[in-house]
Structure 1
Amino acid sequence: MSVNYDFTGKVVLVTGSSSGIGAATALLFAQSGANVVVTGRNADGVRKVAKQCTDESPKQLKPLEVVGDLTNESDCDRLIHSTVQKFGKLDVLVNNVGIAIRTDVYKQDFYENYKNLMQTNLNSVVYLTHKCVEHLAKTNGNIINISSNVSHMSAGNSVSAYNMSKAALDMFTKCMAAELGPKRIRVNSVNPGIVMSNFVTRMGVPEAIVHKIHDAIGAKYPVGRSGEGRDIANTVAYLASDTAAGFMTGSIVVADGGHLAANLSFEGESQQVLSQLK
């Protein structure tokens, strides 16, 4: 049985929504009647997702399209200004933007990679949240941060900086839930397991190997498969719904197909596949 949400009249901003989880999330909100803001660095991707949102919106609502880099504060400011200027308000902020860089602490470029990860995965979220509070307070809105189940894991396979960024994001989520509660702004996090998207290919991993990684890990998941963007979008929509999740804030919601529950590690089959890259 599918769950239908009604976000008619709501304004939803989804960062990193030109592909992957962000695109699936923007589409689900559009299908649920919301006015959606589609944003990312890839103009073609933004345009493609926005068209799909319009086509599948019950009233063919046209999303706001904003191309920008959220590690740039002026682009963040432009994104927020454009959203409020067009729609007059903001109800839901989905901080989905993120990158992954495989890097080892003993390598020459580790610290530069670490800074780039933190700038995208944490600092941009902090800045955007900071700037959106005044608007979300007016609508008793809410924030959903897209983290990762690796925030609960240590790893020795060149992803320590990424894991750290997501652990910090989880703590930011909980702190903001407590701090923004008096303003009636709810803040939650969704922590996916491995999800089929172009996220890993952007790390320089060939697509064929990405599929092998997903197949290898998904076969070990208790649900019998790796995740899809729609799986995470459904979790985001649940948390964004005041009717369904109005009593939830500060929650770290793991949606990982049983990855953590089964004590699975990236050091097994996936590491054998990744070793082909070294």
Structure 2
Amino acid sequence: MKRFSGKTVIITGSSSGIGRATAILFAKQGAQVTITGRDAEKLEDTKKVILKAACKPHDLNIVVANLTDPSGLDEIVKSTLDKFGKIDILVNNAGANIADGTTNTDQSIELYHRTFQINFQAVVEMIKKTKNHLINTKGEIVNVSSVAGDSQALAATPYYSSAKAALNQYTRCVALDLIQYGVRVNSVSPGVVSTGFLGAMGLPDDAKGKVESFMASNKNCIPEGVFGKPNDIAEVILFLADRKRSSYIVGQSIIADGGTSLVTGMQAYDIQDMI
């Protein structure tokens, strides 16, 4: 028996990156999977990879939808119920550090609204729309946050960091509310991961490669010395969604960042260099 046989999973933002890797792992472990995103072409690519990974066509549901549009959220939920009849697991993975050329306190209020809408409000709405279905199945929710939402400051992107901090607190609040109905809520906070994230921020491929190489080779950025891969985070998501393996974890966030969040400015320099 595979780990998630008989389970139905919704994974937002699953056309690429962490979401795609998560969908593939769930499919390999026997789950019925709804994948969703705005880009139909990328979703089709994800579909092909999932089917090749042993998922049967009738166990896969594909929804092209915009999470910032309430009708898109409704379609994700409705199509999942129409095809599979239930929802066991919700993975709120979709998110973006939206770039418009501004940084720090110069970021616009319009950017603030857009950033919070995709990184926080969409999660709130998805949980509200799936809550009763998850209560019926005694299900699981896994939110994908970021180390950007933790205590260290990322001054250049205050809205993204603040949205993820809000998501962390919302995760704790919802976890406390829903556990009384048998629904567990947790989250994972990735550090830097090799996905399309930097490209979505406007960095060309050659620049992305330079950033990844610099961070991986600089212990002040990633003490482990390795740039994260989508599968690294996907494995944590499956762990948190697995009632047999993580049953006593409620309202927590697992940080998966290769040690990035352990480094402070004072630790970033060797004392011998200072003297």
Distance 2:256 2:2 in 1: 19
Distance 1:264 1:74 in 2: 45
Q: Note if 1:39 corresponds to 2:36.
A: yes
In structure 1, the residue corresponding to 2:197 is in which secondary structure?
A: coil
Q: Deviations over 1:16-64 (max 9, x none)?
A: 0000110000011011111111100000111111121122126565410
TM-score norm. by structure 1 comes to 0.90
- Contact 1:11–1:34 at 8 Å: present in 2 too? yes
In structure 1, the residue corresponding to 2:251 is in which secondary structure?
A: coil
Tell me which residue corresponds to 1:253. Answer: 254
In structure 2, the residue corresponding to 1:190 is in which secondary structure?
A: strand
Amino acid in structure 1 at the alignment position of 2:244: T
Amino acid in structure 2 at the alignment position of 1:188: N
- Contact 1:24–1:230 at 8 Å: present in 2 too? yes
- Contact 1:101–1:159 at 8 Å: present in 2 too? no
1:187 to partner: Cα distance? 0.4
Cα 1:227–1:75, aligned 2, differ >3 Å: closer, same or farther? Answer: same
Tell me which residue corresponds to 1:83. Answer: 80
Amino acid in structure 2 at the alignment position of 1:244: R
User: How many aligned positions are there?
Assistant: 262
Distance 1:5 1:189 in 2: 23
In structure 1, the residue corresponding to 2:262 is in which secondary structure?
A: coil
- Contact 1:145–1:189 at 8 Å: present in 2 too? yes
Tell me which residue corresponds to 1:262. Answer: 263
| 1:111-190 equivalences in 2 (<5 Å) | 111-152=109-150, 153-156=152-155, 158-190=156-188
- Where structure 1 has 5 or more consecutive residues not aligned to the other structure, the ranges are 269-278
| 1:152-231 equivalences in 2 (<5 Å) | 152=150, 153-156=152-155, 158-219=156-217, 220=219, 221-231=222-232
CA RMSD in angstroms comes to 1.9
TM-score norm. by structure 2 comes to 0.91
Amino acid in structure 2 at the alignment position of 1:27: I
- Contact 2:105–2:158 at 8 Å: present in 1 too? no
In structure 2, the residue corresponding to 1:218 is in which secondary structure?
A: helix
Higher alpha-carbon deviation: 85-94 or 43-52: 43-52
Amino acid in structure 2 at the alignment position of 1:198: G
In structure 2, the residue corresponding to 1:260 is in which secondary structure?
A: helix
Distance 2:15 2:7 in 1: 20
- Contact 2:5–2:31 at 8 Å: present in 1 too? yes
Tell me which residue corresponds to 2:272. Answer: none
Tell me which residue corresponds to 1:274. Answer: none
- Contact 2:23–2:35 at 8 Å: present in 1 too? yes
Tell me which residue corresponds to 1:237. Answer: 238
- Contact 1:15–1:39 at 8 Å: present in 2 too? yes
Higher alpha-carbon deviation: 78-87 or 211-220: 211-220
- Contact 2:141–2:241 at 8 Å: present in 1 too? yes
